[in-house]
Amino acid sequence: MIERMSNLNRSVSLKQKALSVGSPRVVGSPRITRRSWNSRYVLITIVLGFVLSFFLAICVRYLYVLPSLTQAFQDDSVSHLSSDSSCDIFDGNWVYDYGYPLYNASECPFVEQGFNCLGNGRMDNEYLKWRWKPNNCDIPRFNVEKVLEMFQNKRIVFVGDSMSRTQWESLICLLMTGVEDKKSVYEVNGNKITKQIRFLGVRFSSFNFTIEFFRSVFLVQHSWAPKRGPKRVRSTLKLDKLDDINKEWINSDVIIFNSGQWWVPGKLFGTGCYFQVGNSLKLGLSIGTAFRTAMDTWSSWVDTMINPNKTRVFFRTFEPSHWSNQTLHVCNVTTEPLSETRGKDTSVFSDTIFDVVNNMAVPVSVMHITPLSSFRSDAHVGVWSDKPNMSDCSHWCIPGVPDMWNEVLLFYLLRSYKHTSAK
């Protein structure tokens, strides 16, 4: 079940009231054909009188009712904007905003070097100054105190691939701007951020919360090949079994999943990794079907293992890349966002995620960041990574687009915790 924008009944009913006050539909020309002139005059007089007194009544209503309506709108303006049912926060565009970026990656110890583009020599910085603006509402400006308070005593968990790790790093850096004693924020095992590490947990000790990352690029179990399989099969993905570290994910307050980047022939068949369901190898299974099966496994795990009264569940959709030619590794990072998405605003992975989530018992919010990210050919790490001789049009600079993914996440969370007493 996808969590839709919940209507704030108050503002909706106010809007309806305002609508009926503002548009008196009664003023239509009465149809009076095939009648005598006399009766027409009588009728017109009656109708005119009727209409006039109606207008008078409306004027009076405006005078007395409107001020209180305006007042109510002002009182409720923030929640009205953010919970208007007509607002799809993923439908919008990027607007230039001097208020960005929200932090300096070189001053945040949790940014891995490979994503700190400015620190790695990127000279243009216009790419840092864009904010996502939904067409019919606003994402409230990031307020670090509010978020630190909301996260108190909580456990926030990211599960997925390197894109998840980027968002994890971004969220920590966003929050560190509000922490005075930077030493009070630390990785619980003293580990450094590396690409292969399976678990990272950063604790904000003054606020008693942790933000964790579990590396699970497929979400399902990756294991050695069965003994009597073809030679080319070196490992398998068990599509019917969730990753064996799944127990670690259960007792979280907020959990954000992603997957998709690794579901490509090169990373699967190219490395000798094939699909398995139960005890049987599925050599002919297409990647799309396999992803769907894995997502079904994921959804039944969530439906049986997650207590929706405690845990808010999110799935982030596919993060588009902007290669000029991925086979040849040609990657041209632009200096400005694209003006059109060139078809990158949709993805079969994103479609599958929506499809699966629609049929679940536990509410899952789909963070549909595919369209908004698809404009941002200017925001990839390019050659400003830790591997400068290999341009990269998949990963993202931070600060940058992953900060916006977090602003979307926080938009959902602030609303969710505001509308329930459960903390």
Ligand X SMILES: *[C@@H]1O[C@H](CO)[C@@H](O)[C@H](O)[C@H]1NC(C)=O
* Interacting residue with ligand X among 189, 196, 304, 307 (CB under 6 A): 307
DSSP E strands, 184-251:
185-187, 199-204, 209-215, 220-224, 235-242
The piece of 9-17, 27-35, 284-292, 324-332 that touches ligand X (CB under 6 A) is 324-332
The CA distance from 193 to 115, in Å, is 12
Partners of 257 in the beta sheet?
Answer: 159, 315
The piece of 11-19, 104-112, 191-199, 261-269 that touches ligand X (CB under 6 A) is 104-112
Angle of CA points 311, 316, 322, to nearest 5°: 165
Q: Mapping DSSP to helix (H, G, I), strand (E, B) and coil, where does residue 316 land?
A: strand
Query: Could you write out the DSSP letters of every residue in 261-302?
Result: TT-STTTTGGGTEEEEETTEEETT--HHHHHHHHHHHHHHHH
Give the nearest distance from C-beta 155 to ligand X in angstroms: 6
Does 324 participate in binding ligand X (rule CB under 6 A)?
A: yes
Q: Which is nearer to ligand X, 107 or 149 (CB)?
A: 107
Does 280 participate in binding ligand X (rule CB under 6 A)?
A: no
Q: At what angle do helices 401-418 and 144-151 cross, to 10 degrees?
A: 60
* Interacting residue with ligand X among 75, 91, 107, 126 (CB under 6 A): 107
Give the nearest distance from C-beta 359 to ligand X in angstroms: 19
Spatial CA neighbour of 407 closest among 117, 138, 162: 138
Other beta carbons less than 10 A from residue 285's beta carbon = 16
Give the nearest distance from C-beta 128 to ligand X in angstroms: 8
Under a CB-based contact definition with an 8 Å cutoff, are residues 398 and 173 in contact?
yes
| Structure token pair of residue 239 | 């599509």
Q: Mapping DSSP to helix (H, G, I), strand (E, B) and coil, where does residue 93 land?
A: strand
Give the nearest distance from C-beta 284 to ligand X in angstroms: 26
* Interacting residue with ligand X among 68, 74, 77, 106 (CB under 6 A): 106
Under a CB-based contact definition with an 8 Å cutoff, are residues 169 and 110 in contact?
yes
The CA distance from 166 to 267, in Å, is 20
The piece of 20-28, 43-51, 100-108, 333-341 that touches ligand X (CB under 6 A) is 100-108
Does 325 participate in binding ligand X (rule CB under 6 A)?
A: yes
Under a CB-based contact definition with an 8 Å cutoff, are residues 133 and 94 in contact?
yes
Residues 150-209 contacting ligand X, CB under 6 A? 153, 155, 208
Measured in residues, the chain has a length of 423
Under a CB-based contact definition with an 8 Å cutoff, are residues 12 and 6 in contact?
no
Alpha carbons within 13 angstroms on the beta-carbon side of residue 213 total: 29
The piece of 99-107, 313-321, 334-342, 406-414 that touches ligand X (CB under 6 A) is 99-107
What one-letter code names the amino acid at 408? V
Q: Which is nearer to ligand X, 196 or 279 (CB)?
A: 196
* Interacting residue with ligand X among 327, 340, 421, 423 (CB under 6 A): 327
Give the nearest distance from C-beta 105 to ligand X in angstroms: 7
Residue 45-84 contact track with ligand X, rule CB under 6 A, x = bound:
----------------------------------------
* Interacting residue with ligand X among 23, 68, 332, 358 (CB under 6 A): 332
Q: Which is nearer to ligand X, 61 or 310 (CB)?
A: 310
Q: Which is nearer to ligand X, 173 or 237 (CB)?
A: 173
The piece of 228-236, 323-331, 378-386, 400-408 that touches ligand X (CB under 6 A) is 323-331
Give the nearest distance from C-beta 309 to ligand X in angstroms: 4
* Interacting residue with ligand X among 33, 328, 340, 423 (CB under 6 A): 328
Give the nearest distance from C-beta 296 to ligand X in angstroms: 21
The piece of 229-237, 326-334, 362-370, 398-406 that touches ligand X (CB under 6 A) is 326-334
Give the nearest distance from C-beta 104 to ligand X in angstroms: 4
The CA distance from 175 to 177, in Å, is 5
Q: Which is nearer to ligand X, 73 or 186 (CB)?
A: 186
Give the nearest distance from C-beta 209 to ligand X in angstroms: 7
Partners of 130 in the beta sheet?
Answer: 96
Instruction: Please name the residues in contact with 130: beta carbons below 8 A apart, sequence gap of 6 or more.
Output: 94, 95, 96, 97, 100, 337, 376
Which residues are near ligand X by CB under 6 A? Answer: 104, 106-107, 153, 155, 208, 307, 309, 324-325, 327-328, 330, 332, 389-390
